[in-house]
Structure 1
Amino acid sequence: MTRVLVSGGAGFVGRFIVEHLMQNGHEVIVGGRTPPPTGCFSRPVDFVPLFLDPDLNQSAAFDDAEGFVHTAFEHVEGKYRGGEGDDPDGFRRANIDGTVRLFEAARTAGVKRCVFLSSRAVYGSRLVGTVDETTPTAPDTLYGDVKAIAENRLRALATENFIPASLRVTGVYGAAGPGRQHKWTELFAGYLDEKPIQPRIGTEVHGDDVGAAVRLMLEADSATVRGEAFNVSDLLLDVRQILSVVQRLTSCPHALPEAATAERYLVMSTEKLRRLGWQPGGFERLVTTIGDLVRNSRPA
């Protein structure tokens, strides 16, 4: 069993990671600005205050931790791209300087493994087709730039005893937890209310599959993951495909939106991660999850 500190562990993606690690034998501490709400996790977890503030010495948060998973991100609520709002300098300071200060504190405290939750945004939006981890990063948003810089700063901290890895994660789907709405809540409601739905397309991965990727970074041979970045993605989906599952499950008679074209969409290859044994849930998991989301959103 490994004791792992997860920053932002009560967030949408962080919660999946915490649950996956707990279910696979790891002891988890959640770090964040405030304690997680009651019932956030399937069982109680320890909590330590943790902030994206480069002026704070937070080394005590890493006492007895063998792993550190950094999912916390300072941004305008509901936004990642554009999450800087009207304070790009503060955005950079928190998400670069604050993040690196945590990486350094973890290494100094003797943490052995460090996993950074990065983003497909490091590749930018100008590229099309399929990219792998050898493709040069080319962020064209502040969000992507911040993630790419943090990746590079973490990689530079690697030693024989400090094993960092970055996961370039695409859109994450799944149940949002008690009292929260899942990412497709408005999409499902709009379709069922027969509101116009614009065609759009994106790549998705289930939150538990992200948790499995994180666990691999903590458990895989150190030489395999030290200083490496891995793409984390599963399905290329347009809203028509998503809503076709909703249509079938609810017997809704409303027409589906037009299909979106994937002609100029960027897809990340995940072969590098799959070679370590990672196997996402694919379309079967998507259908099962949408079924759960639909059932749990219906009035009792």
Structure 2
Amino acid sequence: MHVLITGGSGLVGRFIADRLHRDGHQLTALGRQPLDWLQAGYQSWSLSETQFVVPQADVLIHCALSHVPGKYRDGEGDDPHGFIERNAEGTVRLLERSKAAGISHFVFLSSRAVYSEVVNWAVLGETAETEPNTLYGQVKLVCEQALQSLCDDRFKGTSLRATGVYGKAPGTQRHKWSDLFAAFERGESIGPRLGTEVYGEDLADGLARILDNGSQRKRPFEVYNVSDLLLDRQDLIKLYAEHKGVKGAALPPRAEGPVGVMEPGKLKALGWTPGGKERLQAFIGSLR
């Protein structure tokens, strides 16, 4: 297939682009600069751009997000209007022009942030209530709804509601916990946190399975949860300390919760088997 990807230089986009490339798909990046770590076509594009034409292709995977560096929630910084304009309005333009260009499948990288604030240990299936309490979650949900409204027999839509993504993305040396681990080794106090995580390659594998099973889908629009681990920061730091031989440093306290645990049952029905704790341990063990 010919696949277009936005945000291919971002953390998640790199994992996805690498998997698509290894699977033998023709890949074209839409963005502000070409991908510099694998061979792919390129067309200049940004979320702020209003005059553009989507090239002919089979699938478009939309990972791009305009945000304050290093932040997704609170990614609007001091410019909430611009955040909405670029990410919501920019995505709607991309959706409309993708459909007009004959794209048959549009995949949107959404977030667990679309779910309601969780006040108990809820299990979040794809039909769980969506009342996001952050601007980031609200924008993601608006984009999902816009995609769903455009879907029909010729224009299929998929929303990937992804949890936190860890791992060292292809072509990079840093990862989401680089600063956290460095702060721990410096002896700084680390606050508690409890969240859900998925390894980047596992997320990309889930997407590959969705693309491979496209002919079997029953509805024009589908939502898939993408999540693997419930991870307390204390356990994460302990794993790292054991790997690096750091002794005597204070671990963060355990987080009290609660947190919602996403259930990726629809992906598992496609044969998706994320790596769980073993993959997390292997990743930590690979760090130098």
- TM-score, length of structure 1 as denominator length: 0.89
- CA 1:127 to 1:217, structure 2 compared with 1: closer, same or farther past 3 Å? farther
List 4+ stretches of structure 1 deviating above 3 A. 176-180
Q: What residue is the counterpart of 2:259 in the other structure?
A: 265
Q: Deviations over 1:110-142 (max 9, x none)?
A: 111110000000013244321111112010111
* Identity rate, percent: 41
Letter of the structure 1 residue corresponding to residue 166 of structure 2: Y
Q: Deviations over 1:191-250 (max 9, x none)?
A: 222222222111110111111122223221443463111111110111121122212222
Q: In structure 1, give the amino acid aligned to 2:102.
A: G
Tell me whether 1:77 sits opposite 2:69 in the alignment. yes
Q: CA RMSD in A?
A: 1.8
1:119 and 2:140 matched: no
Contact 1:192 1:254 in 2 (8 A): no
CA contact (8 A) 2:116 2:129 kept: no
> In structure 1, how many angstroms separate the alpha carbons of the residues matched to 2:136 and 2:31?
20
Alignment of 1:89-168 (within 5 A): 89-128=81-120, 129-168=122-161
CA distance in 2, matches of 1:148, 1:92: 12
CA distance in 1, matches of 2:172, 2:267: 33
Q: Which runs of 5+ in 2 are unaligned?
A: none
In structure 2, distance between residues paired with 1:24 and 1:48 = 21
**CA–CA distance in structure 1, aligned partners of residues 201 and 74 of structure 2:** 26
Rounded Cα–Cα distance in structure 1 between residues aligned with 2:81 and 2:183: 37
Q: What letter corresponds to residue 254 of structure 1 in structure 2?
A: G
Q: Which amino acid aligns with 2:254?
A: A
User: Following the alignment from structure 2 to structure 1, what is the Cα–Cα distance between the partners of residues 186 and 197?
Assistant: 24
Alpha-carbon distance in structure 1 between the residues aligned to 2:49 and 2:129: 28
* 2:48 matched residue in structure 1: 53
Contact kept in structure 2, 1:191 and 1:254, CA below 8 Å: no
Q: Give distance in 2, aligned partners of 1:111 and 1:152.
A: 18
1:93 alignment partner AA: E
- Runs of at least 5 residues in structure 1 that lack an aligned partner in the other structure: 296-300
Deviation at 1:147, TM superposition (A): 0.3
SS in 1 for 2:4: strand
Q: Is contact 1:194–1:254 with CA below 8 Å preserved after alignment?
A: no
Which of 123-132 and 256-265 deviates more?
256-265
The answer to whether the 8 Å contact 1:54/1:97 transfers is no
67 and 208 in structure 1: CA distance in 2 versus 1, 3 angstrom threshold: same
Q: Which residue of 2 aligns with 1:247?
A: 241
Q: What secondary structure does 1:62 align onto?
A: coil
1:201 to 179, 194, 204: 194
8 Å Cα contact 2:191/2:253 also seen in 1? no
Q: Secondary structure at the match of 1:277?
A: coil
Paired positions, count: 286
SS in 2 for 1:156: helix
In the TM superposition, residue 279 of structure 1 has moved relative to its aligned partner by 1.3
Contact 1:198/1:257 (CA < 8 Å) preserved in 2? no
